[in-house]
Amino acid sequence: MNICPLCNGFRELLLYCENCGGKLEDKGKMMDYFGAYSPYMEIDLMKRIDGYPSTLSRHECAHLFYCLHCGNEQTQFIKE
Ligand SMILES: [Zn+2]
Ligand SMILES: [Zn+2]
């Protein structure tokens, strides 16, 4: 069984916004967001995941990072 260190609080990942250089906040596992927001948001997330190899087969956990300064969102794949 693979465990994501971020989901389990073992580790914190410090990332910076590619737009403004501000600190990004971990919004959690991306899969948790499906169905949680408006249809527009879901489609947007689907598009972003589309084209990536399956995160399940690679044992990677997709996390959504959000910039508190400019509202930029970045997806980061965490090795489990
Ligand atoms: Zn995770
Ligand atoms: Zn930013």
State in Å: Cα 26 to ligand 1 middle: 10
Per-residue tokens: 52: 């990536």
Q: What is the pTM of this model?
A: 0.63
Radius of gyration of the chain (CA): 13
pLDDT, tens digit (0-9, with 9 covering 90-100), for 70-80: 999 998 888 87
pLDDT digits over 53-63, tens only?
A: 444 456 788 89
What is the 18 CA–ligand 2 centroid distance (Å)? 7
Ligand closest to Cα of 4 equals: 1
- From the CA of 40, how far away is ligand 1's center (Å)? 24
Domain ranges of the chain: 24-79
> SS3 for 67?
strand
